[in-house]
Amino acid sequence: MEHAIADSLGTRHVVVTGAGGQLGAALVDAFPGARGLTRADWDVTFPPPNLGEVDLVLHAAAWTDVDGAEANPQDAASANVGGTQNVASLGAPLVAFSTDYVFDGTKRTPYVESDAPNPLSAYGRTKLHGEAAAGEGAWIVRSSWLFGATGKNFVRTMLALGGERDEVAVVDDQRGSPTYVGDLAAAVRELIELPRGLWHLAAAGDCTWAELAEAIFEEAGLDCRVRRITTAELGRAAPRPAYSVLRSERQDAPQLPHWRDGLRACLDRLS
C-alpha cells in the first residue's frame, strides 16, 4: 500500500538521525514524539544499533562541510553515501535529504526534479550518490542554503560578525533560495502523505549571499555594511554553482514560505 504510514503521526515510531544538527533539531520539533539520535547515539558511518520498531526515518545526518569534502572526499562519502546505505538498511520508510549542490549552476531558471544533476564539488557528488543509496522507495528531498536558530550556518555567522564589525565582505555572484529549517521540517510533515520519489523543497524567492547578509542586518537592526565580492575573490576550496534556485515541477509539492519570512521566523527564535 503506497501510504501505509499515512496514519496518525502520534502512532508512528519516528527516528531522526543527525538530531544534533540544525535540520535534525527542527525535524524533532516538527514530529512530536520522534526519537532524535545525535552522532553520539549513532554515527551513521557504522551499521545501525538495535532501534526496535521504526515506522519512519528522517535522515538528516550528513557531512555538510563543503570545502572540507574537497580535502577529505572519502570521509565525506563515508558519511553521505555509506551513512545513507546504513540508514536504508533499517528497511523503514525513509526521507533522505540532499542539496542544490548536485547541480552545476549553468542554468538561469530554477532547477526542477527532471533536470540532470552535474555536481561541481566532492560534496555535491557524495550527496548525489547518497540519493541513489537511499533507494527508489525513499522520499529524496533536495533543499538549499539551510539556516536555523541552532548549529553552524550563514545567518548565525553574519549575526556574530555584524555585531563585531562595521563591514563584511560577502559573495554576490551565487544565487539560491535560503531555506529556514523550521519551514522545511513543516513541509516534510506534508510530504510523507505524498508519493515517494524526488522532491525539490526550498523557500520561495531567491537572492545572493550578499543580499541575504543585507537582509539579516536589516531585520536584526545591525549597523553593518556589506561589501560585495566575487566567488573568485573569496577563494574557497570547493567550487559552488553560480545559480542553484530549486523549484518543484510536481503539482502537489508542499509550498514553503518566502526566504525573508523564514529569516524573520529564525530571528524570532534566536531572540
Q: How far apart are CA 186 and CA 146, in angstroms?
A: 14
Look up 123 and say whether it is catalytic.
yes
Of the candidates 101, 123, 180, 243, the residue annotated as catalytic is: 123
Active site residues: 123
